[in-house]
Chain A
Amino acid sequence: MTRVSTLVKQALAGLRLLLVLTVVTGVLYPAGVWAVSRLPGLHDNAEAVNTTLVGVAREGDGWFHLRPSAATLPASGGSNKSQVNPDYDRVVADRRTEVARREGVAEDRVPQDAVTASASGLDPHISPAYADLQVPRVARERGLSERWVRKLVAEHTSRRGLGFVGEVTVNVTALNRALTDGG
């Protein structure tokens, strides 16, 4: 009985404290972060203006292609397929055949990122190898020189921060925009 009444007493105190902390951490805190994010240097980041952080597929052979995506926009998501899933093995094999056919190369030259889905389905990056594979096709379709396209790819290839932070990747979203700007 006393336990129950103590519990009720504690719960009521808890409710009051929860409401106070809701104001502090649920309203004031995000409002503060939001306010700072309105600063000129941060605003565009915060609102993802012209963002190159995400990649969405562009149809047509004139574009660099992203990795396969399992996302259903506007939401994000991956395939969640296991490495020992025979059904998915076939899906991946089909993708490899398709990429090889599209780029006109042997299947064993197709890099892995070209046939596997990312976790977010919004990965804007591909490997330099996959970009390299796509250069002739994009150049051909757009009537650009491969050399110029390769230069563009190189400009959009990131280096590792401090030489070790991150991976060497090509940002397809930025690359494709550069194609249109340039073209």
Chain B
Amino acid sequence: MWAGVAQAALLVVALAVVYRPFGDHMARVYQRTEHSAVERAIYQVVRVDPGTEQKWSTYALGVVGFSAVGVGFLYLLQRVQSWLPFDFGRGNVEPGTAFNTAISFVTNTNWQSYVPENTMGHSVQLVGLTVQNFVSAAVGLAVAMALVRGFVRVKTDRLGNFWVDLTRGTLRILLPVAFAFALVLLVTGVTMSFKSGVAVDGQTVAQAPTASQEAIKELGTNGGGVFNANSAHPFENPNAWSNLVELFLILVIPVSLTRTFGTMVGERRQGYVLLGVMGTLWTAVLALIWAAEASGVRPLEGKELRFGVAGSALFANTTTATSTGAVNSAHDSFSGLGGGGALLNMLFGEMTPGGVGTGLYSILVMAVIAMFLAGLMVGRTPEYLGKKLGRREVTAAALSILAMPTVLLVGAGIAAVLPSTPGALGNDGAHGLSEILYAYASASNNNGSAFAGLTATGDWFQASLGVCMALGRFVPIIAVLALAGSLAAQRRAPVTAGTLPTTGPLFAGLLGGAVVLVAALTFVPALALGPIAEAML
């Protein structure tokens, strides 16, 4: 028990050490006006003018256009795999899988309906999947920065240049950190090989260029592993130290972004309070999962002994709270409440602390909704960070929040009554419903982890989960950019005694309450028939 607490504490200390310098570094990356020689060369090749800023709609079209191209490219790459090197005869990826996987990696979900060791060669892994692990994370960062600029800027219709934000996020944040930590992971024992497998005691175990993928998989809160068992595989996550390094990588950007946010809006405490809400909910659900797993019927089923219950609970909580979806244990084998806790993290809307960029913009959208209600309750036209929350702002925020439950419930609802579904489930009864709910929650929130007993290779699951991932990603992004646009167009209201402070415990309680309440009210009926029924047995 105490050893597990100490591990979590060590993780928190490590994050605290880098919080300020890394958060401020990210702020500088997006605020600076000069471009490096490499960047200038790239802009020249790509033929974009880095000096031109974009309106929210152009910015959004950039995101959508870039992602559409990404899906097309990744789909094609999988479909021609057999002509690429390092394919090891795994052949061209089936259309359904290729479609699902393309959307999955472009949307930063990394839901994997395939067994990588049998399906993906190293070329597609690197040239396709690793690339999207970088750029989909950079897209999330860019959108978050556009929203922050919406709060910061006054009376303008310009939110920045998407291509510049994308390039900077990739080159100045993700690439250097990923490279450095890929080497750290190598030292801890993570493999890096272009062979197809390695002989162990007379049998063959699949091999892969793991380290490079592993670093960005966690750093970009992607989660798509090169092995089926993901971070439970000893080659991806060989020991408790690599486990902590990976947890650190998952959390470092979402956590430090609150500092970036505080720095950019000119009041650091605005960021600290968001971090406080994120941290409190992260801790609460960790306690829930850990306690549930420690007292489970079969606590070690689906867990690696080197991580134990503590290391597995810590990872399960972190990966679901960050939209990462990497797993170091089989969530499907968790107890009702333990798996329910992981599911709950996703149902919060991925903001505790959420994915790279997505976590920040999601919690800011929730703050807009919470402050709208709070503003009414203090008798003023609601405002947040000096920007009024009127019809346009509430519409955009509502749309952003509405997208996830809509696609989740519609998708899961249909899946629950399809005649083919029971055959695809790994377990019956309440836990079977949990598997369905978990799959759609994971897809709709771009998490990517699974109750993997569900076989998602059927046409319905491949298609519907693909649609959920796409809508769950881009509807909120477009809404968030629209929100940023209408915020940036406003002037800033001055702070008076009538202004509700958004730096204190009252606001934190309000925001945390809103996150929990929205999730609870929306999903309690469904949860009652899944995890709650299971837990109350």
Chain A residues near B (Cβ < 8 Å): 3, 6-18, 20-22, 24-27, 29-30, 32-34, 36-37, 42, 45-48, 51, 53-54, 56, 58, 67, 71, 73-85, 92, 112-113, 116-127, 158, 160-161, 163-167, 169, 173, 176-177
Q: If the complex has contacts A36-B183, A167-B311, are A18 and B73 also in contact, measured as CB distance less than 8 A?
A: yes
- A78 and B334 CA atoms in complex are apart in Å by 12
Q: Which residue of B lies closest to A10 (CB)?
A: B65
- A26 and B202 CA atoms in complex are apart in Å by 33
In the assembled complex, B130 has its CB within 8 A of some CB on chain A: yes
Contacts of B58 in A (CB 8 A): 6, 10
B 174-195 to A, binary, CB cutoff 8 A, 1 in contact else 0: 1100110011001101111111
Q: Which residue of B lies closest to A11 (CB)?
A: B65
Q: By the criterion CB–CB under 8 Å, are B61 and A10 in contact?
A: yes
Q: Which residue of B lies closest to A86 (CB)?
A: B428
- A36 and B329 CA atoms in complex are apart in Å by 30
Other than the given A13-B46, A21-B167, A113-B300, 17 more pairs (CB < 8 A) read A10-B61, A25-B130, A29-B175, A34-B192, A47-B207, A48-B191, A56-B203, A81-B453, A83-B296, A83-B336, A84-B430, A112-B298, A117-B301, A165-B3, A166-B239, A166-B308, A169-B306
Q: By the criterion CB–CB under 8 Å, are B234 and A54 in contact?
A: yes
Q: A94 → chain B, closest Cβ, in Å? A: 14
Across the A-B interface, give the 10 residue pairs with the lowest CB-CB distance, nearest first. A166-B240, A14-B66, A11-B65, A119-B232, A80-B453, A10-B65, A120-B229, A76-B229, A164-B6, A53-B234
Q: Which residue of B lies closest to A54 (CB)?
A: B234
Q: By the criterion CB–CB under 8 Å, are B118 and A165 in contact?
A: no
Contacts of B126 in A (CB 8 A): 26-27, 30
Contacts of A160 in B (CB 8 A): 3, 240
Q: What number of residue pairs across chains A and B have CB atoms under 8 A from each other?
A: 327
In the assembled complex, B171 has its CB within 8 A of some CB on chain A: yes
Q: By the criterion CB–CB under 8 Å, are B428 and A48 in contact?
A: no
Q: Which residue of A lies closest to B330 (CB)?
A: A78
Q: By the criterion CB–CB under 8 Å, are B117 and A6 in contact?
A: no
Q: By the criterion CB–CB under 8 Å, are A48 and B198 in contact?
A: yes
Q: By the criterion CB–CB under 8 Å, are A76 and B206 in contact?
A: yes
Q: By the criterion CB–CB under 8 Å, are B130 and A26 in contact?
A: yes
Q: A61 → chain B, closest Cβ, in Å? A: 16
Q: From A24, A25, A118, A124, give the contact of B302 (CB < 8 A).
A: A118
Q: DSSP class of B's interface residues: helix, strand, loop or mixed?
A: helix
Q: If the complex has contacts A76-B117, A85-B428, A120-B229, are A67 and B305 also in contact, measured as CB distance less than 8 A?
A: yes
In the assembled complex, B252 has its CB within 8 A of some CB on chain A: no
Q: Which residue of A lies closest to B327 (CB)?
A: A119
Q: Which residue of A lies closest to B334 (CB)?
A: A83
Q: From B182, B239, B301, B335, give the contact of A33 (CB < 8 A).
A: B182
13 pairs from A and B in contact (CB 8 Å cutoff): A15-B69, A17-B46, A24-B175, A54-B200, A54-B234, A74-B204, A75-B116, A77-B115, A118-B302, A123-B234, A166-B306, A167-B308, A173-B200
- A77 and B299 CA atoms in complex are apart in Å by 17
- A27 and B366 CA atoms in complex are apart in Å by 39
B 193-224 to A, binary, CB cutoff 8 A, 1 in contact else 0: 11101101111111101011101100000000
Contacts of B429 in A (CB 8 A): 84
Within 8 A of A (CB), among B294-346: 296-308, 310-311, 327-330, 332-336
Q: If the complex has contacts A34-B194, A46-B186, are A118 and B211 also in contact, measured as CB distance less than 8 A?
A: no
B 118-130 to A, binary, CB cutoff 8 A, 1 in contact else 0: 1000000011101
Contacts of B215 in A (CB 8 A): 33
Give the residue among A3, A67, A84, A126 with the most B Cβ atoms within 10 A. A84
Q: If the complex has contacts A11-B69, A77-B115, A122-B234, are A82 and B431 also in contact, measured as CB distance less than 8 A?
A: yes
